[in-house]
Amino acid sequence: MSANWKDRHKIHVKRESEALYDALEEAVDILKERRVDRMLAAFDQRIQVAEYDEQRELLSEKNRMLQVKMKLAKKTGRVVVG
């Protein structure tokens, strides 16, 4: 490919290093999302056995974690159900 390709035709062709970086970033985000899923499952278990006051606190934390999950899902292009 010519060195002038981008300048002459105004077309940006991704280099292999750019594609690798994007794939790595997406993989890390997916791992983060899976970790958040495990944390949410742990919150559900703790909520079931907790007293009322503690349940309210745990639900508040769970809502914050759900917001984190939504941001990660938006970044990775995944759909959050439930």
For 12-71, the pLDDT digits (tens) are: 777 888 889 989 999 999 999 999 999 999 999 999 999 999 999 999 999 999 999 999
| Predicted pLDDT of residue 11 | 72
- Please count the structural domains in the chain: 1
Residue 76: burial class (beta carbons within 10 Å; 0-12, 13-18, 19+): middle
Task: Tell if the pTM clears 0.75, that is, is over it.
Answer: no
Does residue 6 belong to any structural domain of this protein? no
2 domain residue, yes or no:
no
> What is the domain range of residue 49?
13-76
| pLDDT at residue 15, rounded to an integer | 80
Q: Which two three-digit tokens encode residue 23?
A: 């794939």
Residue 7 is assigned to a structural domain of this protein: no
Q: What is the pLDDT of residue 82?
A: 61
